[in-house]
Structure formats: structure tokens, C-alpha cells
A and B are shown apart, each in its own frame.
Chain A
Amino acid sequence: MTTTSTIIPVAIPTALRAQVDGQSQLEIPGDSVKAVLESINTQYPDLGKRLFKTEGELNRFINIYVNDEDIRFLDNLDTAAKAGDELAIVPAIAGG
């Protein structure tokens, strides 16, 4: 099978590394945040079920950033992902 999808680096926080064999960064194909997260869900279902509350609805205790910008200021899950972009999964509960 060949794929033309872009490969997006995804930073994984320590608390989620147990679900991805200890990796701190994944290389995941996808042309949008949604596509990348869906690929993660397929490859690492244990991680996938922590990322989503229900199908299509992100766990509200997790924030997703593309190039350090919260996707809620972009197009949420529809935010495009292109070559050179970096995605980060960061626990939402911090600060204040």
C-alpha cells in the first residue's frame, strides 16, 4: 500500500507514553488533526480511547496544539496538517 499523506511528528507527554511503547514522539500520517488522531487511534487504540471522550469529541482534559497553537483557535479537529507542522498532545490541567 502506498500513501501520499504527509507525516506529522506528534509529541507525546510522559503520562501517555505507556500506551505507545515509551515513545516521546510518533510519526503519524495525516493531512488534518482529525486524520492524524484517527491514525493514532488505529495504530494505538489504548491511546486513542484516552484522547476521545466519544467518537469525534476530544477528551476535555487534553489539549491539542499545532505549531504551539491550541487547535480551538484554529479549525479544531478540521485544522489542516501539512509538511513541517508539529502536533503536540498536552494535558489541559495546569496553571492558574
Chain B
Amino acid sequence: MEMEPAMSYVKSLKSRESGQEYPIEPRTVCDIDFSPVEVAYDYKAMQGNVTRQSIEAGPLSLWRYKDLLPIEGEPKAGLHSGWTPLVKADKLAAELGVKELYIKDDSANYPSFSYKDRVVSVAITKAIEFGFDTVGCASTGNLAHSVAAHAAAAGLHTFVMVPHDLEAGKMVGMSVFGPKVVRIAGNYDDVNRLCSQIADKYNWAIVNVNLRPFYTEGAKTHGFEIAEQLGWKLPQHTVLPVAGGTILPKVNKAYKEFIRLGLVDDNSPVIHGAQAQGCNPITTAIEEGEEIFRPQKPKTIAKSIAIGNPADGYYVIKDILNSGGWAASATDPEIIDAIKLLARTQGIFTEPAGGTTLACAIKLIQSGKIPKDESICVCITGNGLKTLEVMENQFQAAPVIKAKIKEFDEVIVQGNNAAATA
């Protein structure tokens, strides 16, 4: 008789440093050395059961990778999240003089238009499995938006903690779902420290604190999708933004898991990091050859990635360098230019984090860190409609004309602005 596939391939939580194992429970760090704990899986049991076919038979959402995610039962959130477009960006490639370029476009993620819908789908499912009735997060905006949306749909109480000065689109975007919004006088790192103390005091599921090991696993689905949508192969170069340092190591882990399961060939994929010049502790450490970064006080228009003290910064540096990758930083004007370039060439409107990632990819191409004849994937993690403020004054206001064909001919076709009378 054939063995039934296991309900879940999750084994334990395991410290990344001491190797100490813990049961599956709300937990952020190892008791011995405070290092992060990570979900460990039984990859042997997956062999032959987790296949291209088994994945392709799954739903068109991030839950098609359920066997590689840390949930026990059926998904309880984000049933329509993930499976965002992988766009072959030929016009942008031509502009940059590279052969093969892809955009993984999480600006189209459902329901809150950023990569955060991936991590939150897993975290909210896990919060329900653990029996929590209240969830929360420390956020630069996109995470709060996503947590508020998914928690509303799941019927959970919600507290979202954010810096006081976020963009209007993000504040409205999260508030509409009815969470308790806590605006904190300080930057994200202040919010994060307070959130750690809140998680320590109240028995709530703070998705990126005490549910963090489960939450971060959701970020792997960004990488799984790139590989599957590319026809079960890996891009040679992947450029990812670095804020708290969640997505980069997890996309790296996703690639390694697919290689280990024999789902893709091992092409030694190279991972690169992107940061804003006004908040670049990881890029600085890599450029200076340091394995430990120095925290910074962020000052950039890329607020969603303005994290000066990244929790997983140490692992980001390690994963980038081990893969043979590098990191770059982009100034505010370079970020705006890249937002416009992506819009003009591919019809995709991203937020400053995405502008940062593309601007840094361009720098890495120009410096030769990314060879022009190798395949490249640029990861776009957020949507420009949520950060309209940064595009203010970027475009000349169009003249207003009367609804008369004569005025259209003169002002619009002939370009005589002075003829506009409206």
C-alpha cells in the first residue's frame, strides 16, 4: 500500500545559530543565544511527493506551495494572494542593453498591492491555528495595509503600529479596514522596538515579532513563483530590495529548496541587494567588507524600506556574498527616475521601494556586477498608487481646454497653450 502524503512536512523551529530545536509555537528567538529560529522541514519526506506536477495541480495563488509553508491544516487567509505576474521586460531590457530581463510584479498582489500579502497570508493562517483573536504588526505601511485587510476578512482584532509620517495612500489603505492604528512619534526602528516590548507584554499575534518564523516563510513564495513562471528554472541574477531583510534570504531559501527537491537545475543563482542611499546599512557593510552592519537613521523617500536596523541584516549580507552577489544604493532622484523608466517602458507603476530596486539593478549592470548577457529578475514589491506624494511636481499640469474642437486643434494638436481659454 502506498503511503499517504504527510499532512505537513514541518518538523520544528530551529535556531539558525545554536541548532536548538523547539516545538511549533509562537516564538521569535532561541532562548540560548537570542538568534532567530527558523522553520525546519522534512525534505526527505517531500522527495517524490512535492513535485512540479503536485504544485501545478494547486490553486493559482501562493498556496500552490503549501507543502513548503509552515501551516498544519488548510489555508485560512490569502486564498487569492500571490501568483503575481512575471513580466518579460523586453522594452526595458533594450533600454538597458541587457539580453534577458524579467520583472516579478508584486505591485499587483491581492488584496493590498505589495509583497506583504505573501507573509501575511501565512501569518494570519498561523495566528488562527494558534488560537489568537488579536493580531498586529510593526510596519512602514505596506505590512499594516496587508494585515488590516487579511485580519478584517478573517474577523480578527487588529492593532497596527506605524511611524507617524506615512503616505496618505497607506494610511487610508490600512484605516479603511477598521484596525486600531497606532501612530508612533519616531522612525520604523522605534516602532519596531516598541512592538517587541508590546509583544512581550500582551498575548497578541504580532505577525513580524512572535509569529515571525512563520511570517517570513511566506516570502519564499515570491521566489517559488519566479522559478515556476520562468518555466521551472532560476534567473541567473535576482535583485531584491533590503529593508528588514526578510525577503532576500527567503527568496534565496526558496531557490535552494527547489534545487534540493530537484524541481530546478542548480545554476548557482546570484542574489543582489538594493537600498536607498538614505538608508543603506547593508550596502555600506558589503562595500566596506564588514560582516556586521552599523544601524542608521533613515532619510529617504523610500519609506517602505526605511529600516535602519534590519533584523535579518546579518543573514542578508551572508546570503548576498555567498551567492557571489553585491549590493547598491540609489539616491532619491535616481529612485524617481527609475519609477518613471519602469512606467514608461513596461507600463508598471511602482512605489519608491521598486524604484530603488530598479535603480540599483541598473547600477549593478553598469558596474559589471551583473553581466549584460545573463538573465536578470528585478523584484518589484510595492505599488506606486499608494505613494503618490513622491511624484508630485514630476509632471507639468496639462492645460485645460473648453469642450470645443477648435480649442483641441489649437492647444493640443498645434501645441499653442496660449489659446487655452478654460
Task: Mark A residues whose CB is within 8 Å of B.
Answer: 11, 13-15, 18, 50, 59-63, 65, 68, 70, 72-73, 88, 90-96
Contact = CB atoms under 8 A, between A and B. Distances in A.
A68 B190 contact: yes
The binding surface of chain B is classed by DSSP as loop
Contacts of B31: 15, 18
B33 A94 contact: no
B292 A60 contact: yes
Contacts of B243: 96
Given A94-B195, A94-B208, A70 B295 contact: yes
B310 interface: yes
B258 interface: no
B355 to A, nearest CB: 20
A91 B29 contact: yes
Contact of B34 (A11, A15, A68): A15
Interface of B: 17, 28-29, 31-36, 138, 188-193, 195-197, 199-200, 208-209, 212, 216, 243-246, 292, 294-295, 297, 307, 309-312, 314
Contact of A96 (B17, B197, B307, B314): B307
Nearest to B210: A94
A91 B169 CA distance: 32
Given A61-B29, A90-B193, A95 B297 contact: no
B311 A96 contact: yes
Contact of A59 (B33, B189, B216): B33
Contacts of A95: 138, 188, 191-192, 195-196, 208-209, 244, 307, 311
Contact of B246 (A60, A70, A96): A96
Nearest to A14: B200
